[in-house]
Structure 1
Amino acid sequence: MKVKRQWKGLNFLVSLFLLFLFLPVFGDEPAGDKKEIEAAIEGLSQKLGTEVQKIQGLEKIAVVKFANLGRDAMDMKVGEIVAELLGERLKSVLPNIKLVEREKIDAVLEEMKLSLLGITEGENAKAVGNLLEAQAIVTGSVNEIADEFVIVLRLIEVSSGKVLLALKTNVKRSGMVALSDEMVVKRTRVDSLYRSILAPGWGQFYNRQPYKAYIVIGLEAVAVGGAIWSYFLMEDRYDKYKNATNTEDAQKYYDRAEKYRVMTNAFIYSAIGVWALNVIDAVVSGKSEKTLKVKTKKEGVRVGATIGPDGSPSLSLEWGF
C-alpha cells in the first residue's frame, strides 16, 4: 500500500483548504489627495443649496450622473462619483428638499438609453425630470484637461428646460484617481479565476453569488473531511494488519485497510472535482464590469465596538470579499 504517497496528497489538499478558511482579504487604502475633491464637492453643494432655496415651490430634485467627457473619465466613472458625492452632501445642505433615490434615477436613465452618456441636453432633462416627478435636475459633465478634471454643474428647471445655475470647478487628477479606486468596484473574469483556484468558493463570493459559494464550500468540506476520516481509519487497520498474530486476522485487517484506501481516494478525487467545477463555474459566471459603490470601510476582517441605545457595549465581526 502506498500510504506515504497518499498521505502527501491528502496533506496538500487539507493545507489548501485550511488556507482558504483562514485567508484574510485586506484592501489597501487608496493613495492620493482626496481632501481637495471633498472640498470642491462641498463648495458646489453649498452654492447649489443657496440657489435652490431661492426657488419657490421646489419640493423634489434629482441628482443625475454627470456626463463623462473623455476616456479616462468614463473608465474611472468620474461622473458617477461626482453625482454620488454631491447627492450625499445635498441631503444635509437641503434637509427640506426630497432627493430622488439613486436606484430610480438609474432605472429611468437605462430606460431612456442615457445610462452611458448622461444628460447633456435640456430636452433630455425635461423628459427625465418628468419621469422622476422632480421639479429640478442637477447634472453636468466632467472633462479631462491635462492633469485635472473640470467639473461643470448645471441646475435645470424641468418645466422649461432652462438652466437656472451653472458652476465650474477644477480638481486634481490624483485625488480623483484615489476616489475612483475607493468607490468603484472593478471585477474581471481573471480575478474570479485566480480566486477560485486559490480557494473553493472565493470566486463565487467575488461574483456576488454567495449561495453557490456556500454550496462549493460545503461540498469541499464534506470531501476533505471524508478523506481525513477514511485515511485515519485506513491507517488504523493497516497498523492492526502489521501487528496481526495470525493469517486470518491479517487478511481481515488488510481487506478493511484496502477498503478505506479506496474510500480515501474517492474522497480526494471528489474534492479535486469540486475544486475544478468551482473554477469553471467562477469563470463562466464571472463578468468584467465596474460598478459604483460607496465604501466607507476597508475590505477584509473587521472587528468593531458599538454602543447600543441602552448604553450596553457590543462587538461586531465583519468579513469583506
Structure 2
Amino acid sequence: MKKIITFFIVLFLSLSLMASAQESKGKAQPTSKSESKVEKKEEPGKGVEGKGKGEKRDVEADKKEIQVKLKSVAKNISKELERIKGGAIVRVVVSSFSNNGEIAKKKEIGTLVMGELMINLSKFNNIELIEREKLAKVLDEMKLVQLGFADEKTAAQVGKMLQAQVVIVGEVNEAADKFVINARVVDVESAKVLYQEGFNSPIEGMIALSSESLVLRSKWDATYRSLILPGWGQFYNGDKIKGAAFTLVEAGLFGTAVAMHLLGASKEDEYKKKYRDSECEDDKKCSDEVTALREDGENYYRMRNYFIYAGGAVWLLNVLDAYISGKDFNSALKMAEDNKLHLSSEGLRVSIRF
C-alpha cells in the first residue's frame, strides 16, 4: 500500500512540473509550419540568438498591428452606419467569419475575428449588438451551425429572424504566409452590401493573438485544467503568479507528504525488525524501544495524512479560483461595454460606469 501511495504522489509532482513548463513553453513556441516560413525569410549570416529575438519581436509587432486594424475596421463600420442611418442606433449581428484554409480552421480564426470585432463595436453608442447566443440559436434552427454563412441573401434572412438591421459577415482566407480578411456589412431589408473592408495579417501574428485572446477562452476550460493539475487553469487565465503559487504550494505539500510517508515507512521497518529480533538482556528497555519506533512511525503517517488533506483543500481552492477568476468572451465584452467610447462633435470622451 505504501508503495502505491508513494508512486502516485511522485507522479503528481512530475506532472505538475511538466504542465507548468509546457504552459510557458507553448506560448513562446511557434508551429513547425510557421517556423519553416520564418526561416526562409531569415537573412544569411545571422546567428541563432539574433534570429530568435527578431522572430519574437516581429510576432509581437504583428499582433499589435492586427489589433489596431481590427479596431480601425470597427470604427469605420460605426462611422459608415452613423452616416447611413443618420446617427440612429443600429441593431447589428456579427457572424463568425468563414475559415478558408487548414490553419484558419484549426485555430478558429473566423471566430476570433468575429469576437474581436464585437468587442470593438460594443464601444460605440450608435451600435446595439445582438448576443452570440441568440445568433447560435437561429443558426441551429436554420441548420447553419456547421456550414456557416457568408452570402448576403442568407445573412439577410438570419438578420430578419433576429430583428437586426444589418449583419456583418466575412471570410478568412489563407494566402502564403498571411491571412486575407474581408468584412462586409449587409443591409437586412435589401440584402445589399452597405460597406466592406479588408486587410492582411501575418499568420504568426494572428496565431499569437488567438492564443491570448479571451474570445476563444472559457471558464470551464480553466476549471478543467486546474482540476487536472493545480495552477494550470491560472496559467491558462494568464495569471502566472497565482498559477506558480498554486503549483509550488501543492508541490510543497505533497512533497512533504512523500517525505513523511518515507520516514514512517522507515520507522515501521525498524519496528518490525526490532519486534522480530527482540533478543536483549533488558526486556523492558527492548519493549520501550519497540514501542517508541511504532509511535514514531504512526506519528509520521499521521503527519503525512495531514499534508495530504491540506493538499486536497488547496487543490479544491485552486479549482474554484480558476472558475471564479476565469475570463472569457462574455467578460471581455461586458468590460468593453462598461467603458464606452462616446463620439461627439466636441471630440472623443471616455466614460467609465460603475
What range is the shorter-chain TM-score in?
A: 0.5 to 0.7
Instruction: Please report the RMSD computed on the Cα atoms of aligned residues, expressed in angstroms.
Output: 5.3
1:69-148 aligned at under 5 Å gives the runs 69-92=100-123, 94-148=124-178
Aligned to 2:260: 228
TM superposition score normalised by structure 1: 0.56
Query: Whose strand proportion is higher, 1 or 2?
Result: 1
Aligned to 1:250: 286
Equivalent pairs, count: 249
Aligned pair in 2 of structure 1 residues 161, 147: CA closer, same or farther (>3 Å)? same
CA contact (8 A) 2:92 2:129 kept: yes
SS of equivalent residue, structure 2 residue 92: strand
TM superposition score normalised by structure 2: 0.52
Counterparts of 1:257 and 1:131, CA distance in 2: 78
Q: Give the deviation of 1:61 after TM superposition.
A: 0.6
Q: Give the deviation of 1:150 after TM superposition.
A: 1.3
- Residue deviations 1:276-313 (CA, integer Å, cap 9, x gap): xxxxxxxxxxxxxxx986999xxxxxxxxxxxxxxxxx
CA contact (8 A) 1:66 1:82 kept: yes
CA contact (8 A) 1:230 1:261 kept: no
Counterparts of 2:152 and 2:141, CA distance in 1: 18
Query: Whose helix proportion is higher, 1 or 2?
Result: 2
Counterpart selection for 1:162 from 171, 177, 192: 192
Counterpart selection for 1:49 from 61, 78, 83: 78
Counterpart selection for 2:208 from 149, 166, 178: 178
Aligned to 2:92: 61
CA contact (8 A) 1:233 1:260 kept: no
Counterparts of 1:174 and 1:43, CA distance in 2: 21
- Runs of 5+ unmatched residues, structure 1: 187-191, 209-213, 276-290, 297-321
Counterparts of 1:233 and 1:147, CA distance in 2: 60
Between the aligned residues of both structures, percent identity stands at 25
Counterparts of 1:175 and 1:294, CA distance in 2: 23
CA contact (8 A) 1:234 1:257 kept: no
Q: Give the deviation of 1:70 after TM superposition.
A: 1.3
Q: Give the deviation of 1:249 after TM superposition.
A: 4.4
Aligned pair in 2 of structure 1 residues 128, 257: CA closer, same or farther (>3 Å)? farther
Counterparts of 1:129 and 1:98, CA distance in 2: 13
- Runs of 5+ unmatched residues, structure 2: 30-55, 219-223, 238-245, 312-326, 333-354
Counterparts of 2:76 and 2:128, CA distance in 1: 18
Aligned pair in 2 of structure 1 residues 97, 176: CA closer, same or farther (>3 Å)? same
Q: Give the deviation of 1:16 after TM superposition.
A: 3.7
| Aligned residue type for 2:151 | E
| Aligned residue type for 2:67 | E
| Aligned residue type for 1:48 | I
Counterparts of 2:233 and 2:208, CA distance in 1: 27
- Residue deviations 1:110-137 (CA, integer Å, cap 9, x gap): 5544344432233432343234332211
CA contact (8 A) 1:234 1:258 kept: no
Counterparts of 1:108 and 1:166, CA distance in 2: 24
Counterparts of 1:96 and 1:60, CA distance in 2: 9
Aligned to 1:287: none
Aligned pair in 2 of structure 1 residues 222, 182: CA closer, same or farther (>3 Å)? closer
Q: Give the deviation of 1:222 after TM superposition.
A: 8.9
